[in-house]
Amino acid sequence: MQTGSGIDLIFTFTIILIVIVLMVFVMFIVANKKLKEQKQNAINNLLMGEQNERGRIARDLHDTMAVAIFEIIHLIDDIDLEKPESIKSKKEEAKHKLTIASQTIRDIAHDIMPKTLNDHGLVYTLQKLADNPPKGITLQFADNTNNHQFEPLINNHLYSITLELIQNTIKHSGANQATLDLFYDKPLNQLHYTYYDDGHGFDKQPSKDGLGLQNIITRAAIINGITTIQGDKYFYLNIIIKLKSH
């Protein structure tokens, strides 16, 4: 009887153990599925943001370039060949409009991806951005990377993150100045990206779960970065990127 009871007890424990293992396995599958869904949603939001950016660029081209070309065509049509002063006047006006259109093209191209990013790297490009920031804000930039060169994927995403942060600062924070620091931790092979402004915190900025900040977090994750955001009194963002070993 005791032997039979012992076997029954072992059998019972075995069944319980199997049930526990199955429950853990199911929970793992569900959690993994949920994680994949969250990751996919984040990527979809990022793609949506990029699609909105394409729409903005298309509107800029239509509202500026199309109008400028239309106006220049009319200037040419209005030239009176019998009156030299008319030719000179219309010519100067057309040159002025072409100059503005040319600058608009450069600005749009710069917003998409500046040539300097590919030619000179992230640090140089961010310094140029700080030297000539968007209207409405000053940008202080500190470089402590010791001339370390980063992968193009990191350069592209950090530049896009910087533009997004600056736009958030201008539109929502009420800040006059933003600060951007890059620091390369050689012993740990990590890049620290820090951005903060002197404006309001999350009270008047987009919520931490907002699309703009979620896109930033997603971009950071793509380049193996961990993001920390604070916004109780002012806006602060830090990204620590674990770099690949060469």
Q: Based on the domain organization, do 51 and 131 belong to the same domain? A: no
178: left (phi over 0), alpha (psi -120 to 50) or beta: beta
- Other Cβ atoms less than 10 A from the Cβ of 180: the count is 23
Q: Based on the domain organization, do 65 and 53 belong to the same domain? A: yes
Decide the pairing of beta strands 236-242 and 225-230: antiparallel
Q: Based on the domain organization, do 103 and 135 belong to the same domain? A: no
Distant-in-sequence, close-in-space partners of 223: CB < 8 Å, separation ≥ 6: 151, 153, 154, 157, 158, 241
Q: Based on the domain organization, do 39 and 100 belong to the same domain? A: yes
Cβ pair 226, 243 in contact under 8 A: no
Mean pLDDT per 10-residue run, the chain (246 residues)? 58 72 71 60 55 58 67 72 72 76 66 72 92 88 92 89 88 87 94 91 50 80 90 87 84
DSSP 92: H
- Position 207 scores a pLDDT of 46
Distant-in-sequence, close-in-space partners of 163: CB < 8 Å, separation ≥ 6: 111
Q: Based on the domain organization, do 101 and 130 belong to the same domain? A: no
Total count of domains within the chain: 2
Q: pTM above 0.95?
A: no
CATH number at residue 184: 3.30.565.10
Q: Based on the domain organization, do 130 and 236 belong to the same domain? A: yes
Q: Based on the domain organization, do 56 and 123 belong to the same domain? A: no
The predicted-structure confidence for 125-154, as pLDDT tens digits, reads as follows: 999 999 988 888 899 999 999 989 899 889
DSSP 114: -
- Position 245 scores a pLDDT of 77
Domain boundary (59, 85, 111) is at: 111
Nearest to 175 by CA among 152, 154, 198, 192: 198
Domain boundary (84, 111, 138) is at: 111
- Position 162 scores a pLDDT of 93
In order, the DSSP letters of 17-58 are HHHHHHHHHHHHHHHHHHHHHHHHHHHHHHHHHHHHHHHHHH
Domain boundary (111, 144, 168) is at: 111
Q: Based on the domain organization, do 153 and 138 belong to the same domain? A: yes
- Position 18 scores a pLDDT of 78
C-alpha distances in Å from residue 236, one per residue of 118, 129, 131, 135: 28, 19, 21, 21
Q: Based on the domain organization, do 106 and 120 belong to the same domain? A: no
Q: Based on the domain organization, do 101 and 219 belong to the same domain? A: no
- Position 206 scores a pLDDT of 47
- Position 194 scores a pLDDT of 97
Range of the domain at 47: 2-111
